[in-house]
């Protein structure tokens, strides 16, 4: 599940041509943490997921749908 979510975040980020560093800045997160999330290494808290979704200009529901969750 974490891997699918991370892949969805990475896919959306790349489709919007946003670097990990830029996404981290927009979401007010550390760049290395964004990388860990994209690799499925971290269990993402709901508030962090909300920050990432907002930074990607997508709803959490749509993000979860793209991840197949």
pLDDT at 1: 86
Domain tally, the chain: 1
pLDDT digit string, tens, across residues 1-60:
889 999 999 999 999 999 999 999 999 999 999 999 999 998 899 999 999 999 999 999
pLDDT at 42: 86
Cα distance between residue 2 and residue 8, in whole Å = 10
Domain hosting residue 61, numbered range = 2-66
Model pTM score = 0.91
Residue 10 · residue 20 · CB < 8 Å: no
Could you tell me the maximum CA-CA distance found in the chain, to the nearest angstrom?
26
> What CATH number is given to the structural domain containing 49?
1.10.260.40
């Amino acid at each position: 599940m974490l891997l699918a979510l991370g892949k969805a975040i990475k896919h959306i980020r790349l489709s919007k041509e946003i670097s990990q560093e830029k996404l981290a800045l927009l979401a007010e997160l550390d760049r290395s943490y964004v990388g860990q999330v994209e690799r499925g290494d971290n269990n993402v808290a709901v508030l962090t997921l909300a920050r990432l979704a907002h930074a990607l200009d997508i709803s959490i529901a749509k993000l979860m749908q793209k991840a197949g969750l």
